[in-house]
Chain A
């Protein structure tokens, strides 16, 4: 938990991996997921790196895997998930895996090919049978004979030579969508010297490749003359029709048909055999593929990591640079020692100084993860910056609850989250793929706290589904009022509105023990009372929240050794914020405590006082809250305004002074400094291409060169942002009031428009019971949909904004990057 406050110390580590043991070392590191490798070959393109051949081999294998996987999927089978831990295989195993998969793939390809060709043949046979069986024959034949008999005189008249012209047939099948085009083209190309009859197949055939049912159009073309025949054949060719021999005699056709049927039967048997064998092969694939896939994926990852290492001059070892948390260094050393023990030469890791900002590492558990996520989605913190997440754990649900305060709604949310928390270890819940569900599930602890806090604020507001509950006796007594002012029955009957005067003895007995007195829910001025309360509460919460943010900045300045900023930034900021808005909070609380019901008539207005404070004026009608108020106020304003120039000029002037002082001193220290930082890596790396380091060094020198205009500009922006931000951010916290008001009113409306009408409908028990069922259903659905989901979402967004903008911009820069260790965790899943 201690590591939540700021990110862990991360060191740049140089790993010397003996060439022989590099692979095992890196694969072990991948299993542990401790380090993030830095690319030392950034200037080398992907295909010129050292292990590109191995990567390519892995990719080759993956290609085969994809083929096998596709085949398994096509057969309608699923691949089992690999069991147990599968370490990255030693490089020599790659050959074995490659051989095995290649052999399987080849076998599968063969069987598949066989099956395919058998299917095609079978399809062809079936089509042929269909064409023959498709009733074209007899009809045409009869038409032909009838036609002949009718036209005998006509045909004979032009002359005998044409008598011996025989009618030829082309029969075949074509896909239905091509049929009309084919028919038209035939007609146009042959100028109508043919008779084509098309008919659709009644029974769809299986497509040989996809296996889907497809209908076919069979056609029979009868024509005269050989030239036209050639044309027809060409055209049918180009439409990819299946053309079959068509015998003229019906008996011959029938015989052919029978033969075809027999053939297709035999073919089907053979096909069945092939398919059985295929399923055997697929079974073997199912066994082999999943573990091999995981192994090869790991192997590829290892080679890609190795590609980021540079080679030492002696070629005896690889040098890697990696970020590693200081806490994990012993584990890293041990892992390296263990995995290189076999080779006799030990791999070593040692820290080296670094100029780059290290990555940010904040370890989370399932509880803190969602809160850290809220912070990280704004920006990952700078290295070792104060992490707002631990405070967010409480403030976020609280601010949410201020806007969402309702016992009933909070309880529903709490129970929903509790159910998720209790079921979190169930595999079915974990494996759910639904994205919306995953979002909710990921934030279950957040929801849990949000619900819990909403119950709490709900008690404060005394609202449960917008109804007030009186757990304690109310602090107001109507009886005392009635007795004192002698209300008669007639008076009560005439007046629907009665006033309770707290100044009458016995009417106001004292404040309600916890939260809002339930009697307010009956009052006509309920809303204006709550508004005043909630508005003031929002401002108080806001100023406290922001002041807390400014104070957190202190820890940043202390940690980064910028003590001048404590005096020149945090102090003025705090004075400005507290002097103006802290004073406002003071006024609010002071008035709450000091002004009683008796003096309510002449109570001073805080608003007028606050405005007058800035205008340095006073209004005679507004009584001062306490003596010497104007003097104190004037001092505060002057003090706050005096802080602006301090904030604006303090840091830049300080930096300039320091810079000048340093420059005046001889440059000896600087050189020493440089040698200290540059010499060390050079010495230890014995001269490998450390141009990156050198470039870093140059950069740093330039950084030391202070650019005054930039510093001033930066500080001016910061000052303006802070001073204006104080005003606008305080106003921004009023959203707490607005949202909580909206929530209360919406639930009030829902109750009044749905449930109250329903409850008032039937006086008889039966009617009321029947009517209440749908009405309660509507009430429940609308409560969940509108009040819980919609309102919850909007309150969530506003709470998010208050944290990101109003709170975090006081101290959090969020310009870092996450440590993403080299790990196999994703491939194992």
Chain B
């Protein structure tokens, strides 16, 4: 790409960037969270959300209000906003936005295949699918029996197709294979997305690359953590790691050899960025590794808004909104289950 995005960025994307920054300003503030936490019932929560930018998005819900209804409506709202961005975007922003949906599509495909494996009805699982990752052929996923089947019949026309080149196999789709498939897809997806951002250059690359690197490293950690005590071989494990990021390549090789959490921790000690994260685990308030990662992600996404003329704001906004939704759902769950002791362990968005 040409240098100096600030000269002509606004010609094509200025409107959307302005819009997304406005949307970001509508995220819930610390004060809102404090008020939400004080709510006694979900109705109170609804009333309070009405005073924020969510407005009366729950107005048409019939009683009784449940957490899943709130979740669905929030997702619908986010999806509506995203669709608006997407419909008004020009190249290469539209490709960027398509890349963003890919991760949700992967999740949906895997979810549907798992559902088919457990003989659940498609409709039930469709409700759980993320609306951002919806595509027409999605529901036909369960007719496929092998990954290559899946690719040839269903996904060849979707944006997911390029990620399949690594995982064509004739193995039957059992639970382990599906999990492997997901990770391979993810790896391939992250690598392609990373390459796209890198090739795009400019501020977009400067902002997006660290975020994606973190995402890749996080996946590597999670995969390692989840593979302890499973039949996954160490070689196989290594093939699942995305091949970029701060850990690549030495860290990943070491991670592939790790056998328990302590070994992982000692590997992480070599990395200044991740050391404090691992040290924070289990500290004050019993944070899990996941929480710590989420916090770091929020931090990076908020920082993305400090730069202008780049696409990272769209990614950051969607991720922040997702985190906010997770927070609201967490608070709502705590309220509805009358389990107030942990209500404060949401991830604050700075």
Asked whether B47 lies within 8 Å of A181 as measured between CB atoms, the reply is no
Give Cα A411–Cα B142 distance, bound, in whole angstroms: 80
Asked whether B39 lies within 8 Å of A63 as measured between CB atoms, the reply is no
Within 8 A of A (CB), among B135-165: 136-140, 142-143, 152-154, 156-157
Decide yes or no whether B347 CB sits under 8 A from chain A: no
With known contacts A47-B39, A63-B59, A184-B157, A189–B140 Cβ distance under 8 A: yes
With known contacts A45-B35, A45-B38, A238–B48 Cβ distance under 8 A: no
Decide yes or no whether B122 CB sits under 8 A from chain A: yes
Give Cα A56–Cα B35 distance, bound, in whole angstroms: 19
With known contacts A47-B39, A63-B59, A189–B47 Cβ distance under 8 A: no
Decide yes or no whether A778 CB sits under 8 A from chain B: no
Within 8 A of B (CB), among A182-202: 184-185, 188-189
Decide yes or no whether B51 CB sits under 8 A from chain A: yes
Asked whether A234 lies within 8 Å of B142 as measured between CB atoms, the reply is yes
Decide yes or no whether B279 CB sits under 8 A from chain A: no
Asked whether B143 lies within 8 Å of A234 as measured between CB atoms, the reply is yes
Asked whether B136 lies within 8 Å of A231 as measured between CB atoms, the reply is no
Which A residues are CB-close (under 8 A) to B153? 185, 188-189
Decide yes or no whether A654 CB sits under 8 A from chain B: no
With known contacts A63-B59, A185-B154, A188-B153, A238–B122 Cβ distance under 8 A: yes
CB distance from B155 to the nearest CB of A (A): 10
Per-residue 0/1 for A34-57: is the Cβ within 8 Å of any B Cβ (1 yes, 0 no)? 000000000001110000000010
Decide yes or no whether B174 CB sits under 8 A from chain A: no
Which A residues are CB-close (under 8 A) to B139? 237-239
Give Cα A39–Cα B11 distance, bound, in whole angstroms: 48
With known contacts A178-B136, A188-B153, A239-B136, A231–B47 Cβ distance under 8 A: no
Asked whether A185 lies within 8 Å of B140 as measured between CB atoms, the reply is yes
Which A residues are CB-close (under 8 A) to B44? 47
Decide yes or no whether A256 CB sits under 8 A from chain B: no
Which A residues are CB-close (under 8 A) to B122? 237-238
Give Cα A178–Cα B157 distance, bound, in whole angstroms: 14
A46 CB contact (under 8 Å) in B48, B138, B156: B48
With known contacts A235-B143, A238-B122, A181–B137 Cβ distance under 8 A: yes
Asked whether A181 lies within 8 Å of B39 as measured between CB atoms, the reply is no
CB distance from A429 to the nearest CB of B (A): 35
Specify the chain A residue showing the minimal Cβ separation from B152. Answer: A188
CB distance from A644 to the nearest CB of B (A): 47
CB distance from A252 to the nearest CB of B (A): 31
CB distance from A554 to the nearest CB of B (A): 47
Give Cα A237–Cα B137 distance, bound, in whole angstroms: 11
Give Cα A189–Cα B139 distance, bound, in whole angstroms: 13
CB distance from B46 to the nearest CB of A (A): 10
Which B residues are CB-close (under 8 A) to A238? 122, 137-140
CB distance from B188 to the nearest CB of A (A): 21
| Contact residues on A (Cβ < 8 Å of other chain), bracket | 10 to 19
Per-residue 0/1 for B259-294: is the Cβ within 8 Å of any A Cβ (1 yes, 0 no)? 000000000000000000000000000000000000
Taking chain B's interface residues, is the majority helix, strand, or loop, or is none over half, making it mixed?
Answer: helix
Asked whether A181 lies within 8 Å of B136 as measured between CB atoms, the reply is yes
Per-residue 0/1 for B104-137: is the Cβ within 8 Å of any A Cβ (1 yes, 0 no)? 0000000000000000001000000000000011
Give Cα A46–Cα B50 distance, bound, in whole angstroms: 11
Per-residue 0/1 for B28-48: is the Cβ within 8 Å of any A Cβ (1 yes, 0 no)? 000000010011000110011
Scoring A66, A231, A235 by chain B CB atoms within 10 A of each residue's CB, the highest score goes to A235
Which A residues are CB-close (under 8 A) to B142? 234
Per-residue 0/1 for A159-199: is the Cβ within 8 Å of any B Cβ (1 yes, 0 no)? 00000000000000000001001001100110000000000
Which B residues are CB-close (under 8 A) to A45? 35, 38, 48
With known contacts A185-B153, A188-B152, A238-B122, A47–B48 Cβ distance under 8 A: yes
Per-residue 0/1 for A603-625: is the Cβ within 8 Å of any B Cβ (1 yes, 0 no)? 00000000000000000000000
Give Cα A181–Cα B155 distance, bound, in whole angstroms: 12
Which A residues are CB-close (under 8 A) to B152? 188
CB distance from A180 to the nearest CB of B (A): 10
Within 8 A of B (CB), among A234-287: 234-235, 237-239
CB distance from A460 to the nearest CB of B (A): 51
Within 8 A of A (CB), among B226-258: none
Give Cα A237–Cα B122 distance, bound, in whole angstroms: 10
Give Cα A238–Cα B142 distance, bound, in whole angstroms: 10
Which B residues are CB-close (under 8 A) to A46? 47-48, 51
CB distance from A71 to the nearest CB of B (A): 13
CB distance from B176 to the nearest CB of A (A): 24
Give Cα A66–Cα B59 distance, bound, in whole angstroms: 10
Give Cα A181–Cα B59 distance, bound, in whole angstroms: 37
B137 CB contact (under 8 Å) in A66, A185, A231: A185
Asked whether B143 lies within 8 Å of A189 as measured between CB atoms, the reply is yes
CB distance from A451 to the nearest CB of B (A): 43
Give Cα A551–Cα B166 distance, bound, in whole angstroms: 87
Which B residues are CB-close (under 8 A) to A181? 136-137, 157
Which A residues are CB-close (under 8 A) to B157? 181, 184
Which A residues are CB-close (under 8 A) to B38? 45
Within 8 A of A (CB), among B45-101: 47-48, 51, 59-60
CB distance from A698 to the nearest CB of B (A): 25
CB distance from B149 to the nearest CB of A (A): 8
Give Cα A46–Cα B142 distance, bound, in whole angstroms: 49
Specify the chain B residue showing the minimal Cβ separation from A63. Answer: B59
Which A residues are CB-close (under 8 A) to B60? 63
Give Cα A239–Cα B152 distance, bound, in whole angstroms: 18
Specify the chain A residue showing the minimal Cβ separation from B156. Answer: A188
Asked whether B48 lies within 8 Å of A231 as measured between CB atoms, the reply is no
Specify the chain B residue showing the minimal Cβ separation from A181. Answer: B136
Which A residues are CB-close (under 8 A) to B43? 56
Which B residues are CB-close (under 8 A) to A235? 140, 143
Give Cα A46–Cα B48 distance, bound, in whole angstroms: 8
Which A residues are CB-close (under 8 A) to B136? 178, 181, 239
CB distance from B122 to the nearest CB of A (A): 7
Scoring A47, A56, A185, A237 by chain B CB atoms within 10 A of each residue's CB, the highest score goes to A47
Asked whether A234 lies within 8 Å of B156 as measured between CB atoms, the reply is no
Which A residues are CB-close (under 8 A) to B138? 238
Per-residue 0/1 for B183-225: is the Cβ within 8 Å of any A Cβ (1 yes, 0 no)? 0000000000000000000000000000000000000000000
Give Cα A184–Cα B136 distance, bound, in whole angstroms: 12
Asked whether B35 lies within 8 Å of A231 as measured between CB atoms, the reply is no
Specify the chain B residue showing the minimal Cβ separation from A70. Answer: B60
Within 8 A of B (CB), among A45-98: 45-47, 56, 63, 66
Specify the chain B residue showing the minimal Cβ separation from A55. Answer: B47
Asked whether A231 lies within 8 Å of B39 as measured between CB atoms, the reply is no
Specify the chain A residue showing the minimal Cβ separation from B142. Answer: A234
Which B residues are CB-close (under 8 A) to A184? 157
Give Cα A688–Cα B152 distance, bound, in whole angstroms: 76
CB distance from A60 to the nearest CB of B (A): 9
Within 8 A of B (CB), among A476-529: none
Give Cα A189–Cα B157 distance, bound, in whole angstroms: 13
Give Cα A46–Cα B138 distance, bound, in whole angstroms: 44
Give Cα A531–Cα B164 distance, bound, in whole angstroms: 82
A-B contact pairs, 26 of them (CB 8 A): A45-B38, A46-B47, A46-B51, A47-B39, A47-B47, A56-B47, A63-B59, A181-B136, A181-B157, A184-B157, A185-B140, A185-B154, A188-B153, A188-B156, A189-B143, A189-B153, A231-B143, A234-B140, A234-B143, A235-B140, A237-B122, A237-B139, A238-B137, A238-B139, A238-B140, A239-B140
With A184-B157, A238-B139, A239-B139 given, name 19 new contacts (CB 8 A).
Answer: A45-B35, A45-B48, A47-B44, A47-B47, A63-B60, A66-B59, A178-B136, A181-B137, A181-B157, A185-B153, A188-B152, A188-B153, A188-B154, A189-B143, A189-B154, A238-B122, A238-B138, A239-B136, A239-B140
- Residues of chain B touching chain A, judged by Cβ–Cβ distance below 8 Å, are 35, 38-39, 43-44, 47-48, 51, 59-60, 122, 136-140, 142-143, 152-154, 156-157
4 tightest A-B contacts by CB?
A238-B139, A189-B153, A238-B140, A188-B153
- Residues of chain A touching chain B, judged by Cβ–Cβ distance below 8 Å, are 45-47, 56, 63, 66, 178, 181, 184-185, 188-189, 231, 234-235, 237-239
